Structure 1
Amino acid sequence: MTKTLNSQPQQSLNIAVLTVSDTRTQETDTSGAYLVKAVKEQGHTVVDQLIVKDDKYLLRAAVSRWIASDDVQVVICTGGTGFTARDTTPEALSVLFDKEIEGFGELFRYLSFNEIGTSTVQSRAVAGMANGTAIFCLPGSTGACKTAWAGILQQQLNSSHKPCNFVVHLKQSAQPACETRG
């Protein structure tokens, strides 16, 4: 399927970036730094950036504040999607979703398979919508963040991407959901 963009200018979104880690600091958070840079390069605004320990209640609290905020339209989380005992991001955040975006995890693993082979089955990347806020949970590696951004998020967070994008579903959006085919 061909990616198409219309001639309308892209709508700038307000995006929060959350790194889930027991060990990373602002200085060592390469995944969060990559996402902040990528978001800004696309003309979006990073309204908040946090590093939170891999604790499901701390994660829920941080993301719940963003979901309730009028200022945050998208949350991108990196980390906590693996299989260790401390990896709780999917369990912590999926209960907040009004709707799950099933295709996100499926597409991420498909794209990731081309890069890391069958190891992608250990990714529990998930996404959903809550109160007009899109929430994307990515693995913690910078490579995985690059795959998700370049392969999915860059287009789906672009209001000009056709036939569909997530911008129409976000708070304060007035764009048509999908291009009508006649």
Structure 2
Amino acid sequence: MSRIDESKKFIPVRIAVLTVSDTRSLDEDRSGQTLVDRIEKAGHSVADRRIIQDERAEIAKQLRAWIADPEIDVVISTGGTGLTGRDVTVEAHRDVYEKEIEAFGTVFTIVSMEKIGTSAVQSRATGGVAGGTYLFALPGSPGACKDAWDAILEKQFDYRHRPCNFVEIMPRLDEHLRRK
């Protein structure tokens, strides 16, 4: 089972947090703040934080800007993953993914089922990679952000986590871009 290898040194990553909402301000952004608090508590840094409206093109534009920023390793968005007409975060993420991490949504659903039962079926949480940057789209509730971070992302962004983690393969995420 998974474990932390204390003989390895912790490697912090730089994470941008994007809240997708038509109504929230930074002061009212409990989900984004939940992520910021957990990211910092885990020893990582918050490289940037923004709130953007539920507009597919604008979300994708912000994701691309952060993908192009060498000071950002990971982007985590919250909000806009549901089923309503305004929920376009998943589509915006998929517009920029080079590779989707299909198992992320599956594992998130399993974690959610333990907390909210069959209501977990309404989430379209997703993860992917583009330009050497990890991208994750989480639901807009603080509880969902806690669950995703505590059960999945905190472990995967800890270089010491065994048997494997996202950090150890980061240098190879964009190797196809360097090939001649």
Q: Scaled by the length of structure 2, what TM-score is found?
A: 0.93
Give structure 1 stretches of 5+ with no counterpart: 174-182
Q: Is the 8 A contact 1:98 1:129 kept in 2?
A: yes
Partner of 1:72: 72
Q: What is the correspondence of 1:16-165 to structure 2 with a 5 Å cutoff?
A: 16-165=16-165
The alpha-carbon deviation at position 93 of structure 1 amounts to 1.0
In structure 1, what residue type is equivalent to 2:164? C
The alpha-carbon deviation at position 7 of structure 1 amounts to 1.7
Whole-Å Cα distance in 2 between the matches of residues 67 and 121 of structure 1? 29
Task: State the identity as a percent.
Answer: 47
How many pairs does the alignment contain?
Answer: 173
Whole-Å Cα distance in 1 between the matches of residues 62 and 2 of structure 2? 37
Q: Deviations over 1:84-120 (max 9, x none)?
A: 1000011111121111101100000001001001010
The alpha-carbon deviation at position 171 of structure 1 amounts to 4.9
The alpha-carbon deviation at position 9 of structure 1 amounts to 1.8
Q: Is the 8 A contact 1:6 1:162 kept in 2?
A: no
After superposition, the Cα gap between the structure-2 partners of 1:93 and 1:128, relative to the gap in structure 1 and judged at 3 Å, is same
Q: Is the 8 A contact 1:18 1:32 kept in 2?
A: yes
In structure 2, what residue type is equivalent to 1:136? F
Q: Deviations over 1:48-88 (max 9, x none)?
A: 00000010011011110000111110001000000010000
The alpha-carbon deviation at position 163 of structure 1 amounts to 1.0
Give structure 2 stretches of 5+ with no counterpart: 174-180
What is the alpha-carbon root mean square deviation over aligned residues? Answer: 1.3
The alpha-carbon deviation at position 22 of structure 1 amounts to 0.4
Secondary structure of the residue that 1:95 maps to in structure 2?
helix
